Structure 1
Amino acid sequence: MPLFAYLHVAVTTRLAELRRAGERGDSPVPTAVIIFGLVFVATIVTGLALSKARDWMNAIPNHTNPK
């Protein structure tokens, strides 16, 4: 039973520390991971926009690419 009491106190103390640290604006996710996610999403959005633009231009009858 003392082991359970020790684990309970340790977990409760650690959770309280994490809650206090969260008030400072610190994030558990590193900034590099957030930036990578933003770049990944931006790449996908840009690719989709380029694909839609090409499809739209190819749908124009008698379309030729400028030289």
Structure 2
Amino acid sequence: MDFLTYEVLTKGMCPCCRSRFFNRLPEEEREVVIDTAMEIDSFMPHVYGDFIELEEIPDGKETSEATA
């Protein structure tokens, strides 16, 4: 799954549901999604910077919940 497919599938999901969906992807697919997001972030940091910070959170919790 590439990043754009991931974006289409998760459009409209809350951050928790997006994280749960992401965490259930096979490791190889997660790597592709992150690599593509980082590649896009390298020339358009304002677009997907939040994705890179928020997606890999245990149990689908947002950053504030995961660190509390």
Do the structures match in fold with TM over 0.5?
no
Higher relative contact order (CA 8 A, sep 6+): 2
1 or 2, which has the higher helix percentage? 2
TM-score by length of 1: 0.30
TM-score by length of 2: 0.29
Question: Which of the pair has more CA radius of gyration?
Answer: 1
